[in-house]
Amino acid sequence: MDFDEVLEELGELGKFQIINYFLICLPVFFSAANSLSYVFVAGVPDYRCYIEGCDDRSTPDYSAAWVNQTIPDLEYETETANAVYVPSQCSMYLMQNSTVGQFDVNDTCPFNFSTDTIIQCNEWIFDPEDWTIVGEWNLTCQSNLWKLSLIGTVHFAGIFCGSTIFGMLADRFGRKLMFITSIMMMTITGIGQVLSGSYNVFNVFVFLNAVGTAGIYPLAFILGVELVGKRKRELCGIVLNYFYALGEAAVALFAWWFGSWRLLQLAVSGPAAIFLCYYWLVPESVRWLLARNENDKAKSIVSTAAKTNKVVLSSRIMESMEKISGGAKTPAKDPQLLKMLGLAFHSKLLVTRISVMFYVWAATAFVYYGLSVNSTSLSGDKYLNFALVCLVEIPGYTLALYALPLFGRRRALILSLLICTVTCAAAAWTSTSLYWVATVMFLIGKLAITAAFGILYVYTAELFPTAVRSCAVGLSSTMARVGAMVAPFAPMLSTVTSGLPLICFAAAPLFAAILTALLLPETRGRRLPDTVREAEAI
């Protein structure tokens, strides 16, 4: 039986699909929030040296009036012209015991300080409105910067593992079960971060949280596209990303509102526990059930959908389903990673396509996360800037939504990659005096690469057969994490020349666009392939 034929009669996006699709999208919001919460949880707040005899431990005042007389200017130390005084984070003037010095401070700090002698401090005062793990475990100064960077590396390592693990397990044990498992893992380990009493324990939970989080979006996407008809797949694939972008932006709101890393992490993890009820609310993928010969369960779900959508399936469809549901059940072969390796030996065409997809995903993620890392070039409030950089993804995904049916998957992907190439190259060569032009190019580049991400999920799912579809998307997502792990190192290239990171962000999508144009087929208007032969025929 062709399940797309059933969907045409059932309704490609009826009430049943809309309700379940909305339920599937909600965990994606929290998945996105967990994926980026570390930006603020491990963010570096404003802090300065603690001045013995001047600061009050019980009620520390980061911006005390006498600070500029006891601590050198951070901007002066870094030789950056800035009229606004910013206290150094790790050094202070030498305190003198005598009452005679270069200057006298006010009564709240009755000591003299020598501005000719600067020493390092070992105790700090933090901005109380921005409490992160830096203040929690004194991860201060240059000697501890690697620990903060390591959190990002551990996070992406967890994403790398989770994308592969849940993709393969979903093909073996079902999309629904692994979807719920990944949500619960994200929730439990997120709360584990909140309760962590040390940096090392915290990092363990960061890794485990990333493993769980990594499974949510790909599985939500697979459940969504396998639930609807072929003419609605691009809509569902893109709308899912709206929830992801909103979840990312919500991190900034929670961080600003709570001002505490523990409350922030609790806010993005704890509420997701309610999704345990999905075990009873959300149906398994009918396509997966049919592929596993679980035909009775598939028929039951289709019957429920027909009642909810208030449609009556034709006698031809019902007879076909009756025959299938009464057929003998044969054990389905385990797809897992061996199935993908099997394709390597039996279908060179599919191996070529998945290899190209691996690079395109990695390049797209490299630029996507690289631009996010470089978003500090946007001046202003850090919470607002972070939210804007995330929210610009919504028009990016919307652009993908209209580009998919207008240009097709292949041309839409190529076009978005080329736009990113042009804008990043333009930003790299823009004069520093025209900073606003570079900012506009930066945002357009982020918009374009976001559109490419949205297109990739739809495109990849349509290229591969049902038995390995989830595995293909999961492995591709894993390769994206390789690009994401490389992205944080891109800013270091600016030590060679200031525009080199943006030049790399322009070159990577250019090569991806060329490979797509030469080696990948168009899938617009075609039904999802159920077998290797059908996938090769695209």
Per domain, the residue ranges of the chain are: 1-38+136-330, 47-129, 333-538
Query: What pLDDT score was predicted for residue 317?
Result: 74
pLDDT average, residue stretch 141-145: 81
Q: Are strands 91-96 and 112-120 parallel, antiparallel or unpaired?
A: antiparallel
Query: What pLDDT score was predicted for residue 200?
Result: 95
pLDDT in tens, 262-278: 999 999 999 999 999 99
Residue scoring higher pLDDT (57 or 144): 144
CA gap 178, 99 in Å, rounded:
70
Average pLDDT, the chain: 83
111-120, 398-407, 511-520: least confident range: 111-120
Q: What three-state secondary structure class fits 17? A: helix
Q: What three-state secondary structure class fits 113? A: strand
- Assign residue 284 a region (left: φ > 0; alpha: ψ between -120 and 50; beta: otherwise): beta
pLDDT average, residue stretch 458-468: 83
Residue 110 pLDDT class (50, 70, 90 cuts) = low
> Both ends of the chain: CA-CA distance in Å?
20
Query: What pLDDT score was predicted for residue 106?
Result: 47
Q: What three-state secondary structure class fits 493? A: helix
CA gap 189, 416 in Å, rounded:
36
For 77, 287, 447, 467, the CA distances from 338, given in Å and listed in that order, are 57, 21, 37, 12
Query: What pLDDT score was predicted for residue 205?
Result: 97
Is 380 a residue whose pLDDT tops 60?
Answer: yes
Is 345 a residue whose pLDDT tops 60?
Answer: no
Residue 316 pLDDT class (50, 70, 90 cuts) = confident
DSSP state of 93: E
Residue 176 pLDDT class (50, 70, 90 cuts) = very high
Query: What pLDDT score was predicted for residue 266?
Result: 97
Backbone angles phi, psi at 339, to 5 degrees: -65, -40
Residue scoring higher pLDDT (354 or 186): 186
Query: What pLDDT score was predicted for residue 327?
Result: 42
Q: Nearest to residue 391, comparing CAs of 375, 412, 407?
A: 375
pLDDT in tens, 30-82: 999 998 898 889 888 888 888 887 887 777 788 787 888 788 886 544 444 44
Do 1-38+136-330 and 333-538 agree at the fold level?
A: yes
The CATH-assigned architecture of domain 1-38+136-330 is: Up-down Bundle (1.20)
pLDDT average, residue stretch 9-38: 90
Residue 322 pLDDT class (50, 70, 90 cuts) = low
CA gap 193, 63 in Å, rounded:
30
SS (H, E, C) 185-243: HHHHHHHHHHHCCCHHHHHHHHHHHHHHHHHHHHHHHHHHHCCCCHHHHHHHHHHHHHH
CB-CB contact of 39 with 52 (8 Å): no
Both tokens of 85, joined, read 């005084």
CB-CB contact of 40 with 115 (8 Å): no
Query: What pLDDT score was predicted for residue 1?
Result: 58
Output the DSSP codes for 140-187. -TGGGHHHHHHHHHHHHHHHHHHHHHHHHHHHHH-HHHHHHHHHHHHH
Backbone angles phi, psi at 282, to 5 degrees: -100, 130
CB-CB contact of 536 with 464 (8 Å): no
pLDDT average, residue stretch 280-289: 88
Q: What is the CATH number of domain 333-538?
A: 1.20.1250.20
Is 216 a residue whose pLDDT tops 90?
Answer: yes
CA gap 458, 236 in Å, rounded:
9
186-195, 229-238, 346-355: least confident range: 229-238
103-112, 296-305, 348-357, 398-407: least confident range: 103-112
